[in-house]
Amino acid sequence: MNPPGDLSYILNHLGEERGQYANAVVPPIWQSSLYAAPTVAAMRAAIADELDQHFYTRGNNPTVAILRRKLAALEGAEDALLFGSGAAAVAAGVLASVRAGDHVLGVQKPYAWTRTLLQRMLPRLGVKTSLVDARDPAVVAAALRPETRLIVLESPNSMTFEQQDLGAIAALARARGIRTLADNSYATPLGQSPLALGIDMVVHSGTKYLSGHADAMVGALCASKAIVREVFEGPYMTLGAVLSPHDAWLVLRGLRTLPLRLERMAATAGRVVDFLAAHRRVRRVYYPQAADYPQPELTKRQLRHANGLLSIDLDTDIAGVERFCDGLKRFLMAASWGGYESLAFPVCGVRDWRGHEHELSVPVSLVRLSIGLEEPEVLIADLAQALDRI
Ligand SMILES: *Cc1c(COP(=O)(O)O)cnc(C)c1O
């Protein structure tokens, strides 16, 4: 569970062969879809190893390859693959691991499109799925079937931050020959190392903290060389949801400041959480480091640091939630998270939930806040004036 040893070496230098491009400090964007072979023999060799040679950019691109090496190193993985979105990385990891007749176990409150993949797409391919309350490894163990092939985890999840004991679940899966996948978007590789705990595949929505500037969509899958090759030869190359060289370059740039951004966001979020927890209009603050968080021992054991994402349950009705959100001036109202800018995402904004609250896995009065890089006082003042409007 140690953080990557020489973090600044990985972020600043690993994979960057400056001597090959005029000693430029920043690598170029290799904006080319294809590579010409000097001889037929060279072409044959390139096609035989599309993952590591240069033949076609859907398979390998030098700018994307730099990011690939860095993310693998950050996760302590043998290799990694980059995708055009986090959703593509999740889907590729899952699709490479199952076939008709298999069973997949997932967590109860996954990211929305992971839920759609597991509950709606997989059954059409003859794969059965069940989503269980995975906070207790015994519940996971009891839900396994002889045909279970994959366990899909997300710890913490991204609305209510429930955690799973990754080491315990990895151990019981390995004992039965079941593969495990963990979505590590929330913690980032700096905050948690699922592979070191025995998980087989780590996936990321790098659209969030890794890129950090709300300007790129990116997904990553980190695993052993054998699993990466399996995913590459399956969904990676056939579905083709790959990262563009330009977006890879933006993420390389974003990664340089990841430790600094997380440090600042965590410090600000701590102050915001203290303010909100003491406010009469806030029923509950959801945050792994909050005083009343229900799984403090997992926070202590699995998470190396806090970050800037939290949710609040407001003590009001939907109209009150709308008055609060409509009244925010510095928080932008948007769905994603992890960028430089603070965001508010009200669950009731997804559609009109009046009368349908029971269909939701989270309270309809929940508002997720992504804390950005603004001055903490500015954010707290904005929240205070918006809470007064309830
Ligand atoms: C956003 C998100 C995803 C999907 O990532 P995209 O980059 O938006 O496709 C997957 N998992 C979690 C936890 C997320 O927050």
Indicate if ligand 1 lies below 6 Å from the C-beta of 86. Answer: yes
Please tell me the distance from the alpha carbon of residue 349 to that of residue 333, in angstroms, as a whole number. 10
pTM, to two decimals: 0.97
Per-residue confidence of the chain (390 residues) as pLDDT tens digits?
455 679 999 999 999 999 999 999 999 999 999 999 999 999 999 999 999 999 999 999 999 999 999 999 999 999 999 999 999 999 999 999 999 999 999 999 999 999 999 999 999 999 999 999 999 999 999 999 999 999 999 999 989 999 999 999 999 999 999 999 999 999 999 999 999 999 999 999 999 999 999 999 999 999 999 999 999 999 999 999 999 999 999 999 999 999 999 999 999 999 999 999 999 999 999 999 999 999 999 999 999 999 999 999 999 999 999 999 999 999 999 999 999 999 999 999 988 888 888 778 788 899 999 999 999 999 999 999 999 999
Write down the pLDDT at residue 3.
58
Query: 385 C-alpha to center of ligand 1: Å?
Result: 31
Which pairing describes strands 366-370 and 343-346: parallel, antiparallel, or unpaired? antiparallel
Query: 210 C-alpha to center of ligand 1: Å?
Result: 12
Query: 87 C-alpha to center of ligand 1: Å?
Result: 6
Indicate if ligand 1 lies below 6 Å from the C-beta of 83. Answer: no
Whether the CB-CB separation of 327 and 389 falls below 8 Å is answered with yes
Indicate if ligand 1 lies below 6 Å from the C-beta of 62. Answer: no
Q: How many CB atoms lie within 10 A of CB 303?
A: 20
Whether the CB-CB separation of 201 and 180 falls below 8 Å is answered with yes
Indicate if ligand 1 lies below 6 Å from the C-beta of 158. Answer: yes
The residues pairing with 333 across neighbouring beta strands, listed in sequence order, are 344
Query: 89 C-alpha to center of ligand 1: Å?
Result: 9
Query: 37 C-alpha to center of ligand 1: Å?
Result: 37
Ligand 1 atom closest to Cα of 157? 13
Write down the pLDDT at residue 1.
45
Return the beta strands (E) in 2-102 as ranges: 79-83
Substitution site in 158, 307, 343 for ligand 1 pocket (most atoms within 8 Å of beta carbon): 158
Write down the pLDDT at residue 356.
82
Q: What are phi and psi of 164, to 5 degrees?
A: -115, 150
Write down the pLDDT at residue 352.
84
Indicate if ligand 1 lies below 6 Å from the C-beta of 87. Answer: yes
Domains annotated on the chain, with CATH: 7-30+61-255 (3.40.640.10), 258-388 (3.90.1150.10)
Write down the pLDDT at residue 355.
82
**Backbone φ/ψ region at 126: left (φ over 0), alpha (ψ -120 to 50), beta:** left
